[in-house]
Amino acid sequence: MDMTFHDRSMCGHMGASHVGRQVVLAGWVDALRDHGEVLFIHLRDQSGIVQVVFSPECTEKSVCEQAGQLRNEFCVRITGRVVDRTPGTENPHIVTGDVEVNASDLTILSQSETPPFTISEKSMLAGAPVRQDQAVAEDLRLQYRYLDLRRPSMQRQLFKRHAIIRAIRNFLDEQGFIEVETPMLTRSTPEGARDYIVPSRHHPRSFYALPQSPQLFKQLLMVGGVERYYQIVRCFRDEDLRPNRQPEFTQLDLEAAFIDEEFVYRVFEELVARMFAVGGIDLPRPFVRMTWTDAMNTAGSDRPDLRFGMTFVDATDIFTDTNYAIFRQIMERGGCIKGINVKGQSGNLSKNILQNEYAKEIVPGFGARGMTWMRVADAGLESNIVQFFSETEQKRILERFGAETGDVILMIADASWHLVCTALGQLRLHLARRLELIPEGVYKPLWITNFPLFEATDTGVTSSHHPFTMPDQTDFDPTDTDALLDLKSRAYDLVINGEETGGGSIRINDRRLQDKIFQALDLTEEDVAEKFGFFLQALEYGAPPHGGMALGLDRITAMILSAPSIREVIAFPKNRSAFCPLTQAPAPVSREQLAELELLDIKDDAPLPGAGRQKDPVASLSWVSRIGIEDAEREEIRTAVAQAKTLAERVNREASQNTGESAEPLFSVLPASNRFRPGTTARISELSENKRLLENAPAVKGGYFKVASVLGQ
């Protein structure tokens, strides 16, 4: 009797218990080895790989002849008997390496063209090295993602992701949460990033927005009495391009009523621990808790990496009466001085590296004006400025930093506390990576709490998280900017190894308090009614105290699986440019579609409005750079843009052909030329000479004029 797919066995499950049994296998030819009359193939399916043998001893001649037509990635069905391998021929590279299948029948279900890259990841020979991933351009992998997904390493990632999500659902079910779906087509609301908008044919010139998060709907579920909600949800944000971001991403969204922060910490610590356990990682608990202020003061970041030391030391009080002019001027402006001790690294940080690389180039790139460095030797401190510090100051430096011979002390000083913290934080991470101080396989989760509720802008304040976050106090004046900036929020972020993996807050459930927040954000009653009227109305009907959190599933899954990018744990991701090489999306739509949506008033074959500007690279460059280009300059700039395009195409072409670790770097040396507009004579501005240049600045802080972050022409 012919065996069918109902009788199919899985390749990766073949073992000693199957020896002597007749089995039906189906999958893809992973690799072939032709020994003349005997043909060996690796057959691969979702479960793994098993070796199949076609030989005259056990296979009919017609089947052997048919097997001779096989090529890599042919899709086949094979019937055969499982036998032990001859001693000495076992393959330790595959789980089924102690057995093989003697084929008796073969059906070629589908043939395959030669794949654009190698899919097999296993060696057929016991003594041969295990195949490593071929260096393949990422866009080529994404263009043929359906082939890339056949690779066992990619399938393992997807299986693990599935197991992580299953662990989430199982745990939340135990805790009494129910999964509820919220709309994908909703109203555009300001949540920090740009919305992806969707036109409506039934409501011309009106638009839906794809959700950046289910924020308002999950709060409405709390008002609706759904006390414990969660959702594995797709979200969409039209953000600026970053290497490890996707325009669409998946998050675990959770909300619960009648809770406080402790409930969130307890639930998520257990939940995240179970997620990491799927990857064989035991997270230390309880998670460390750190306020936003402490995180900034000790690591210069709201997502500090605690896997290594080098936490900040505040040295401000050491230099109260210093003779060192730079420090003295900073102290007079109410500034601060912080530093780090790079323990035992004096031998790896020479004077040249410290002075010429870090002090002159790297640290200024972090926004600081400079850096003070001191190496600790047997005789004391060594530096190009140590002579400006008194013996008392030098002694206190050594004591405060716990410095010993071989250590290096680095300090940053500025009138701005925030600048000192952020610049020193970037320096801390730079050194840790350069000196390889970050241990592998170590995980340090922590909660960051007590964030500022608002951040300052050029025109007032904006929400640090979102406007629905509960403040730590409710009796504030929404018109007092300084008081608003002192408010803390009942928000919290989960940080693991310097990566923000999730965040949330206790929400506002009182309509009057929500109105005060909108007033502080300088939103008019009309703006509030238009954007949030339906939500504010719901708060008037007995909204319970509630709060929640969201976890970025792509990011945390990549961390658990040690994947180099979130694209490695997403089945069909976009590339770094938010483009899909597989489907060529985004792409233009037809004129008829646009006309049907009443988005454009188009007649005959008239060009679309703005099409000319879109195609003109000079106009595009002018818009992106916010620089006006005069007519007389256009031809010269057009030539320069064309040269840049030619160079970029060459680099792209060379990069696609020149891959691997031995690839030479690509560079081009351009001739130096004057890029200033002709007829301009350099001179010092009169306003600068009479010290009135910044007299129209909106504010003065720390002895400096405070100006807009971007200056226009």
pLDDT digits over 227-259, tens only?
A: 999 999 999 999 877 778 899 999 999 999 999
Domain boundary among 416, 438, 460: 438
- Decide if pLDDT at 711 tops 60: no
Structure tokens at 614: 């879109």
Whole-angstrom CA distances from 712 to 238, 516, 627, 700, 709 are: 25, 33, 9, 20, 10
User: Is 91 within a domain?
Assistant: yes
Answer whether residue 318 shows pLDDT above 70.
Answer: yes
pLDDT, residue 475, reads 92
Residues with Cβ within 8 Å of residue 31, at least 6 apart in sequence: 41, 42, 72, 120, 122, 124
> Are 243 and 344 contained in the same domain?
no
pLDDT, greater one: 188 or 400: 400
User: Do 232 and 553 contact (CB within 8 A), yes or no?
Assistant: yes
**493 in helix, strand or coil?**
strand
Its domain, for residue 183, covers 138-289+440-451+489-509+544-599
DSSP sequence for 426-470? HHHHHHHHHTT-SPTT---EEEEE--BSEEE-SSSEEESS-TTBP
Query: CB count, 10 Å around CB of 101?
Result: 28
Does position 513 have pLDDT exceeding 60, yes or no?
Answer: yes
> Under a CB-based contact definition with an 8 Å cutoff, are residues 79 and 66 in contact?
no
CATH number of the CATH domain containing 10: 2.40.50.140
Please indicate, yes or no, whether residues 215 and 271 belong to a single structural domain of this protein.
yes
Question: Are 153 and 265 members of one domain?
Answer: yes
Closest CA to 132 of 118, 149, 143: 118
Q: How many CA atoms lie within 13 A of 603 on its CB side?
A: 0
The total domain count for the chain is 3
Other CB atoms within 10 Å distance of the CB of residue 411: 23
- Region class of 367: left (phi > 0), else alpha (psi between -120 and 50), else beta: left
Q: How far are the Cα atoms of 412, 436, 456 from residue 423, in angstroms, in the given order?
A: 8, 20, 19
CATH number at residue 243: 3.30.930.10
Element of type H or E holding 414: strand 408-414
Peptide bond into 573 cis (omega under 30): no
**What mean pLDDT is reported for the chain?**
89
Reported as type and span, the H/E element at residue 701 is strand 699-701
Q: State yes or no: cis peptide before 152, omega within 30 of 0.
A: no
171 with 200, same domain: the answer is yes
Helix (H) or strand (E) holding 377: strand 372-377
- Smallest CA-to-CA distance from 48 within 33, 34, 30 is with 30
- Asked if residue 321 and residue 367 are part of one domain, the reply reads yes
Give the pLDDT band of residue 695 (cuts 50, 70, 90). Answer: low
- Which residue from 207, 210, 202, 206 is spatially nearest to 185, judged by alpha carbons? 210
Specify whether 150 is located in the same domain as 272. Answer: yes
What pLDDT is attached to residue 99?
Answer: 97
Domain boundary (561, 583, 599) is at 599
Residues 233 and 265 placed together within one structural domain of the fold: yes
pLDDT over 60 (residue 92): yes
- Measured between alpha carbons, how far is 575 from 244 in angstroms, rounded to an integer? 9
pLDDT (0 to 100) of residue 263: 97
Same domain, 103 and 155: no
Helix (H, G, I), strand (E, B) or coil at 329: helix
Give the Å distances, CA to CA, from 95 to 33, 49, 120, 288, 687. 19, 8, 15, 40, 78
The answer to whether the CB of 81 falls within 8 A of the CB of 111 is: no
What is the residue-wise DSSP string for 223-290?
Answer: HTT--EEEEEEEEE-BPPP-TT--SEEEEEEEEEES--HHHHHHHHHHHHHHHHHHTT----SSPEEE
Q: pLDDT of 367-379, one tens digit each?
A: 999 999 999 999 8
Residue type, 695: E
Q: For residue 45, give Cα distances in angstroms to 203, 241, 572.
A: 49, 36, 20
Angstrom CA distances, 341 to 317, 385, 423, 555, stand at 17, 17, 15, 32
Q: What is the average pLDDT across 519-526?
A: 91
Sorting pLDDT into bands at 50, 70 and 90, what band is 640? Answer: confident
pLDDT surpasses 70 at 632: yes
Residue 613 clears pLDDT 80, i.e. is over it = no
Residue 364 inside a domain? The answer is: yes
Instruction: Give helix then strand counts, H and E, for the chain.
Output: 21, 24
- Which of the two residues, 339 and 682, has the higher pLDDT score? 339
Reported as a pLDDT band with limits 50, 70 and 90, residue 78 is: very high
Query: What pLDDT was estimated at residue 712?
Result: 43
Say yes or no: 217 and 326 in one domain.
no
C-beta separation of 360 from 371 below 8 A:
no
Structure tokens at 453: 């509720």
- Residue in the block written with tokens 């290497």: 243
Question: pLDDT value at position 129?
Answer: 59
| 483 inside domain | no
- pTM here is 0.81
224 and 248 in contact (C-beta within 8 Å)?
no
The CATH number linked to 350 is: 3.30.1360.30
Residue 285 belongs to some domain of the structure: yes
Distance of alpha carbon 186 from alpha carbon 209, whole angstroms: 5
For residues 274 and 343, state if they share a domain. no
Q: Residue 502: count other Cβ atoms within 10 Å of its Cβ.
A: 22
Q: Considering the domain boundaries, does residue 365 fall inside one?
A: yes
pLDDT above 80 for 103? yes
Residue 476 pLDDT > 80: yes
pLDDT recorded at residue 382: 93
352 in any annotated domain:
yes
Mean pLDDT of 575-580: 91
Evaluate whether 217 touches 182 at the Cβ level (below 8 Å): yes
Per-residue model confidence as pLDDT tens digits over 383-440: 999 999 999 999 999 999 999 999 999 999 999 999 999 999 999 999 999 999 999 9
Q: Which of 410, 438, 466 is the last residue of a domain?
A: 438
Q: Which residue has the higher pLDDT, 158 or 609?
A: 158
**Rounded mean pLDDT, 296-310:** 96
**pLDDT of 709 over the 60 cut:** no
Q: Is residue 616 in a domain?
A: no
Token pair recorded at residue 209: 């927005």
Q: Which of 48-62, 178-192, 554-568, 576-590 is predicted least confidently?
A: 178-192
Q: What is the pLDDT of residue 530?
A: 87
List phi, psi (to 5°) of 579. -120, 145
Q: What is the mean pLDDT of residues 97-112?
A: 96
The reply to whether 589 falls in a domain is yes
pLDDT at 351 over 50: yes
445 and 405 belong to one structural domain: no
Helical (H) or strand (E) element with 425: helix 417-434
Facing residues of 332 across strands? none
Q: 639: pLDDT confidence band, cut at 50, 70 and 90?
A: confident
Q: Are residues 250 and 143 both part of a single domain? A: yes
Would you state the pLDDT for residue 609?
Answer: 53
Q: Does 278 score more than 90 pLDDT?
A: yes
